Structure formats: structure tokens, C-alpha cells
């Protein structure tokens, strides 16, 4: 590091932290990004279903679906090098226990302007009509998480953002209007000073707050498993999502040439919440120590009811991660973002992204924040 004083320090080198740091570099001469892993974008930004949402997923949250529509176009333009579009995408509506009927789903897509049409016969034939009310062709893509990381690294270099890997932030302290950021790096404790600190640590945001004696933000965490599977030939270039409730999606995962299987009922193994005023369970420590017994057999058994040929898939391994959402997302399955200065410490800002493409909403918040705080450009 050239300097021990920074205009802004960003904690967490996932997609959000990297993009936040890059944006901040426009306003501050020195920006430092600190990441605890040995490379950028190894956690939730890699271990996810890689769907570039276009709104279809959120029939119960109009705002989230409309934001997705806007952000979809922007994402596929600005990150085209990592977007994989060459597959057929269908959404099928379950006959039983779906919170949305086929007619409602179609009406909702028309309302938000998301392209939708009847699925071709050969796609319908993949699904069991006893369990599926209707099947729609949609326009949705996936991204290659490894290629996204490469793009992000090039852009960080172009913007001259400094970053330090293997740098685990332990806590924050205040001296006047400056914040001292204490982090462990290769066995040593180091400290830098910053005017602003952005905590983009996803499931670990409260870990940093807790160790800094700052109030926790209410959050819900799920210990999540997604199976990586090698699907049979007829499913190879397809992405199929069963809506709307305790169902599943099987989507291409380009970085591995496999498919992910994410099941609403079996992907979360257990969950817990962070509640202000109560104790704190360290999400990262829990992630390291929690038992990992795959629920793949349950996932595939249920998926086979809807897509009989999926039973011939080969299980390869599972991707595990702590998935973090805001409690209010529980009600309508929405994925709003969090951009919140800490109470009484307004130069420490917590950022939680709901989906990859929501990053543009965060960038907008940063611009507003910079303007309203008179940060010098």
C-alpha cells in the first residue's frame, strides 16, 4: 500500500465491493478495497445460480421486477463478455401449491413488459402435464462468474483501485471524523485510516459491526446448498424454472459447463436471524463449521416429478454459501438492496445487494450520498 490514509475503504471484494470501490474512485484520490479471501469474488458472487434476472422471478413484488427489467438491459450491455444467452429458457407454473396461476403470471409479465410466449412443443414435452399448468418461453440469461471476475479485475486496474487480499477486517474505531480500520493480514494486525468506510461484506456485514460495538442490522441468513449436476442431453441447453412457491430451477452454470439445481425447499438447510439487541452468530465461522450433508436426493426426487428426464442427471458436487436477505423480503420474496449509514456513525455505510444486477441501484445511491454529503470531486 502506498498510503495508510484513504478517502474511502471498502470492506469485501465481492461483486458489490469491487463495483462500489470503482465508483468511489471517481470521488476520492485513494480508495482501498480489503478482501479476506485469497482472490476477489470467491463467495456469494461466485456461489449463486448466475441468473441475470429480468423480473419473471418476482410476481409478488412489482417494484423488484420492474427494477430487474431496467437493470437486466444495463447488465447485459455493460458486462456482455460474461453473459451467456445461448440456451432455451422456460418458466413453468405448477398446478398445485403455486402462489401464482398461469394466467396471473402471463398478466404480470405483460404488465412489466417482460417478453413471454407459449413454449415450443418440444420444450413442453420435457415437463409433466399432471404437475404443470402451463409452460412459457421467456428471455433471461445467465452469467459466467469467473468471466465476470476477470472483467471486474480489469476495470479495477483501469480505475487504479488498490486492493489487498487475505485482509480480514476485524473492527472499526473512530478518531475525530476519521475511521480506523483494523485488519488481519498474513498473521499481522494492520491499520489504515479512512474518511468513509463502506461495508460490502454480504453475510458478514454484522460481523464487522458486532466487533466494532456498532448496532446490528436485522438480517436473515440461510445456510444454502446448490447442486452442480451434469444433465442428460435433452436438458443440456435449457434453463427451466418452476414457479411460484416451494419449487426449483435448473440453470446452466457456464464456468463449470454444468447446471445448478436450486430448490426452494431443500437449498436452505437451516436459517437464523441477526436481531439488534440480541447475541450474534458469526456467519463466516458458522459457514466453516456447519455440517454439509447434501440434500441432493430430495432435490432430484422432487424435480423428477416435474421433469422426468432430470432423474438421469449425474451429481457432481454442491456449492455452499450463506445466503443473506433482509427480513422484509420474506413477505413478497423481493430482493431490495440495503444502503444504510450506521446510526450515529454516518461515515460508515452498510451495503447489501439482493441480486447481481442490483449493483446499479447501489451506484445510484452512492452518487446521491456523495452529492448530499458534499464529498469533493
Q: Name the site residues for ligand FAD (rule: CB under 6 A).
A: 11-17, 34-37, 41-45, 47-51, 53, 167-169, 200-202, 204, 207-208, 224, 226, 321, 323, 353-357
User: Is the sign of the CA dihedral 360, 362, 367, 368 positive or negative?
Assistant: positive
Pick the closer one to ligand FAD by CB: 53 or 89. Answer: 53
Nearer to ligand FAD, 245 or 312 (CB): 245
Q: Which is nearer to ligand FAD, 121 or 288 (CB)?
A: 288
Instruction: Give the number of other Cβ atoms within 10 Å of residue 221's Cβ.
Output: 23
Nearest-angstrom CA–CA distance, 287 and 308: 34
Residues 352 and 309: their CA atoms lie apart, in Å, by 38
Q: Shortest distance, CB of residue 117 to ligand FAD, whole angstroms?
A: 23
Evaluate the CA torsion angle 351, 221, 289, 313 in order and state its sign: negative
Q: Do you know the residue count of the chain?
A: 377
250 CB neighbour count, 10 Å cutoff: 27
- Least separation in angstroms between residue 35's CB and ligand FAD is 5
- When the beta carbons of 28 and 339 are compared against ligand FAD, the nearer one is 339
Between residues 153 and 312, which has the closer beta carbon with respect to ligand FAD? 153
Q: Helices marked H in 2-61 — which ranges?
A: 15-24
Quick one: 131 or 345, whose CB is closer to ligand FAD?
A: 345
Q: Which is nearer to ligand FAD, 167 or 214 (CB)?
A: 167
Q: How far is the CB of 269 from ligand FAD (least distance, A)?
A: 11
Judged by beta carbon, residue 60 or residue 124, the one nearer ligand FAD is 60
The minimum distance between CB 70 and ligand FAD, in angstroms, equals 14
Least distance (Å) between residue 314 CB and ligand FAD = 21
Q: How far is the CB of 160 from ligand FAD (least distance, A)?
A: 21
Beta strands in the chain (DSSP E): 5-11, 31-34, 51-52, 83-84, 88-94, 116-118, 132-138, 141-143, 162-164, 167-175, 178-185, 188-199, 219-230, 238-243, 248-253, 258-263, 268-274, 314-325, 338-342, 345-352
State the minimum distance, in angstroms, from the CB of residue 57 to ligand FAD: 9
Residue 178 has which C-alpha cell? 476519521
Rounded to the nearest whole angstrom, what is the least distance from the CB of residue 374 to ligand FAD in the complex? 27
Phi, psi for 343 (deg, rounded to 5): -50, 130
Q: Which residue is nearest to ligand FAD (CB)?
A: 14
Q: Do 348 and 197 touch, CB atoms closer than 8 A?
A: yes
What are the residues facing 31 on neighbouring strands?
A: 8
* Distance in angstroms (rounded) separating the CA atoms of residues 102 and 59: 11
- 49 vs 65 by CB, closer to ligand FAD: 49
CB of 376 to ligand FAD, least distance (A): 27
Is the CB of residue 167 less than 8 Å from the CB of residue 34? yes
Query: Which residues, in sequence order, are CB contacts of 71 under 8 Å at separation 6+?
Result: 53, 357, 358, 359, 360, 361
Amino acid at each position: 500500500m502506498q498510503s495508510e490514509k484513504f478517502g474511502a475503504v471498502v470492506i469485501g471484494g465481492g461483486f458489490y465491493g469491487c463495483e462500489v470501490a470503482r465508483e468511489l474512485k471517481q470521488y476520492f484520490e485513494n480508495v482501498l478495497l480489503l478482501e479476506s479471501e485469497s482472490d476477489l469474488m470467491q463467495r456469494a458472487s461466485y456461489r449463486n445460480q448466475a441468473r441475470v434476472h429480468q423480473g419473471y422471478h418476482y410476481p409478488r413484488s412489482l417494484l423488484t421486477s420492474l427494477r430487474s427489467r431496467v437493470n437486466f438491459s444495463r447488465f447485459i450491455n455493460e458486462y456482455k463478455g460474461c453473459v451467456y444467452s445461448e440456451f432455451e429458457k422456460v418458466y413453468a407454473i405448477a398446478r398445485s401449491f403455486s402462489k401464482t396461476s398461469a394466467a396471473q403470471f402471463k398478466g404480470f409479465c405483460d404488465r412489466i413488459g417482460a417478453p413471454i410466449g407459449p413454449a415450443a412443443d418440444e420444450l413442453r414435452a420435457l415437463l409433466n402435464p399432471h404437475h404443470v399448468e402451463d409452460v412459457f418461453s421467456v428471455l433471461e440469461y445467465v452469467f459466467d462468474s469467473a468471466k465476470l471476475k476477470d472483467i471486474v479485475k480489469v476495470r479495477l486496474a483501469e480505475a487504479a483501485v488498490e486492493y489487498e487480499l487475505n485482509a480480514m477486517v476485524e473492527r472499526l474505531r473512530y478518531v475525530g471524523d476519521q475511521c480506523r480500520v483494523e485488519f488481519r493480514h498474513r498473521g499481522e494486525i494492520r491499520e489504515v485510516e479512512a474518511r468513509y468506510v463502506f461495508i460490502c461484506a454480504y453475510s458478514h456485514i454484522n460481523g464487522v459491526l458486532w466487533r466494532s460495538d456498532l448496532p446490528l442490522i436485522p438480517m436473515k441468513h440461510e445456510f444454502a446448498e446448490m447442486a452442480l449436476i451434469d444433465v442428460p442431453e435433452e436438458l443440456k441447453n435449457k434453463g427451466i424454472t418452476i414457479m411460484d412457491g416451494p419449487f426449483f430451477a435448473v440453470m446452466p452454470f457456464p464456468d463449470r459447463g454444468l447446471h445448478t439445481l436450486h430448490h426452494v425447499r431443500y437449498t436452505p438447510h437451516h436459517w437464523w436471524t441477526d436481531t439488534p439487541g440480541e447475541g450474534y452468530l458469526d456467519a463466516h465461522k458458522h459457514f466453516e463449521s456447519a455440517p454439509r450433508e447434501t440434500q441432493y436426493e430430495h432435490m432430484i426426487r422432487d424435480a423428477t416429478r416435474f421433469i422426468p428426464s432430470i432423474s438421469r442427471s449425474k451429481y457432481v458436487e454442491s456449492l455452499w454459501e450463506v445466503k443473506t436477505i433482509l427480513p422484509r423480503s420474506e413477505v413478497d420474496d423481493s430482493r431490495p438492496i440495503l444502503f444504510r449509514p450506521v446510526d450515529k456513525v454516518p461515515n460508515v455505510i452498510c451495503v447489501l445487494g439482493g441480486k447481481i444486477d442490483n449493483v446499479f441501484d447501489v451506484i445510484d445511491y452512492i452518487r446521491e450520498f456523495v452529492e448530499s454529503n458534499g464529498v469533493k470531486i
